[in-house]
Amino acid sequence: MGIISEIRDSISRTISRIFEDEENAKIGIYGPPNAGKTTLANRISRDWGDDAMGAESQIPHETREATRKKDITIEHDGRSVTLDIVDTPGVATKVEYEEFVDYGLDEDLARERAREATQGVTEAIHWLKEDLDGVLYVLDSTQDPYKAVNSMLNGIIQERSLPVVVVANKIDLEDASPNRIEEMFRQHETVRISGLEGNNIDNLYETIAEEFGG
Amino acid sequence: MPELETDSDGVPIDMISSERMEGMASIEKVNLILDSVREGKIVILESGLSPDEESKLIEVTMSEISPDGFSGIEIESYPKQEASQGILGKILGNKPSKLTVIGPANQIQTLHKDSDLITALVSGG
C-alpha cells in the first residue's frame, strides 16, 4: 500500500468520527498556525452558541485535532444561516519540536505535540479536499500572506468551488496591513476584524450570512 | 539521476526542468522532490506544482517528519497571476505555480519575497 493510500485510510477513519451525521453546511476555519482561528471560533461559538470551542494559545499548533460545533445559527438583518463550524489545525510545511521547547514545554511533551501536529496538518488538508462545504480563511494581518501554503489552500478552494470568506485578523495590532491580504485574495470577499477585541465582528457575521446563507 | 559526489561544505541544488516533470505522476514528483530534500538538497522547479500536488507534498512531508531527523520543508514560489472567477478562472486557478524553491526546513530560510524576486538564505547541513 502506498504512503498516500495509508494516509487516506487513516484520515477517513477520523473523518467518520468528526462528520458522522451531516445536516448543516460544514464551514471550516482555515489558515496558518497562530492566525487566530481558535480565537475566532470561540467568539462565534460564544456569540451564537453557548460556550467556547477550544483552548487558545500563543504556542503554535495548540489545535491539533479538528473540533466541531454544531447548529450555530447566525442572524443578520433578517437573514439567518445555521452552520456547523469546524476549527482546524493550522496548515504548515514544517513542524519542529524544538519550537515547543522554546515555549517552555518539556521535551517529551514537545515531541508528542509535534507528532500530533503533523497528523493534524494532514487531516486539515483532507477535510478541505473532501468534506467541507465552505471556508472561513483566517490570516494574521501582521504577516506576509504571500506564502506557498496560502496559495496551495486557495488553489484547492478554487478547484472545489467552495464559498469562502477571507478574514484579515488582528487588525487591532499596530503593524497590521490587511490590504496585502485583500490584494492576494482579491477574487474573494475579505473582512477586516480583530477576533480578540471583536472589532468589526458584525460585518463578518453579515458576510457569513450572505456567503453561506444561500 | 546520476549519483553526484558532493563536498560536505557545499549545498547541492537540483534545478528540474518543466520537461522532466511533465510526464510524471503526482506521487512521482512528490517522491523525486522529497528524496532530494531529505538528502539535504535544494530543489528548484522550473514550472512548480499544482495546488493538489503541493498538498500531496505536504501530506507526505508530514508523514516523514521525526523529532530527531527530518523536520519538514520550506517552499516558496512567485505569486500566481490571480485568476478571475468563472470557468476560465477555475482553469487558470488550477495551473501550477511559477518557479518554485523547496528545501529542508533546517537549511533554508526565506529572507525576502515579492512578485518577481525570492531571496533565500541557505545554510550547510
Mean pLDDT of successive 10-residue stretches along chain A, which has 214 residues: 65 55 84 93 88 71 79 85 91 89 88 90 92 95 91 92 96 96 91 96 93 81
Asked if A135 is an interface residue toward chain B (Cβ–Cβ < 8 A), one would say no
Residue to mutate among B65, B80, B94, B117, with most A CBs inside 10 A, is B65
Asked if A156's CB is within 8 angstroms of B51's CB, the reply is yes
Query: What is chain B's pLDDT, residue by residue, as a tens digit (125 residues)?
Result: 555 555 567 889 999 999 999 989 999 999 999 999 999 999 999 998 999 999 999 999 999 998 888 999 999 887 665 544 444 444 444 555 578 999 999 888 876 777 778 888 888 76
Asked if B58's CB is within 8 angstroms of A121's CB, the reply is yes
Asked if A96's CB is within 8 angstroms of B79's CB, the reply is no
Q: What is the pLDDT of residue B2?
A: 54
Asked if B79 is an interface residue toward chain A (Cβ–Cβ < 8 A), one would say yes
Asked if A4 is an interface residue toward chain B (Cβ–Cβ < 8 A), one would say yes
Nearest chain B residue to A146, by CA: B79
Asked if B108 is an interface residue toward chain A (Cβ–Cβ < 8 A), one would say no
Asked if A14 is an interface residue toward chain B (Cβ–Cβ < 8 A), one would say no
Q: How far apart are CA A37 and CA A30, in angstroms?
A: 7
Asked if A148 is an interface residue toward chain B (Cβ–Cβ < 8 A), one would say yes
Asked if A122's CB is within 8 angstroms of B63's CB, the reply is yes
Partner residue facing A158 (CB), from B90, B100, B114: B90
Partner residue facing B51 (CB), from A93, A121, A159: A159
Chain A residues near residue B120 by CB distance under 8 angstroms: none
Q: How far apart are CA A166 and CA B80, in angstroms?
A: 18
Concatenated DSSP letters for chain A? --HHHHHHHHHHHHHHHHTSS--SEEEEEE-STTSSHHHHHHHHHHHHSSS--S---SSTT---S-EEEEEEEEEETTEEEEEEEEE-PPP-SB--HHHHHHTT--HHHHHHHHHHHHHHHHHHHHHHHHT-SEEEEEEETTS----HHHHHHHHHHHHTT--EEEEEE-TTSTT--HHHHHHHTTTSEEEE-BTTTTBTHHHHHHHHHHHH--
Chain A residues near residue B56 by CB distance under 8 angstroms: 4
pLDDT in tens, A113-131: 889 899 999 999 999 998 8
Chain A residues near residue B63 by CB distance under 8 angstroms: 3, 6-7, 118, 122
Q: What is the pLDDT of residue B91?
A: 45
Partner residue facing B79 (CB), from A119, A122, A184: A184
Asked if B63's CB is within 8 angstroms of A3's CB, the reply is yes
Asked if B84's CB is within 8 angstroms of A187's CB, the reply is yes
Is B43:B16 a contact under the CB 8 Å cutoff?
yes
ipTM computed for the complex? 0.81
Asked if B53 is an interface residue toward chain A (Cβ–Cβ < 8 A), one would say no
Q: How far apart are CA B54 and CA B30, in angstroms?
A: 8
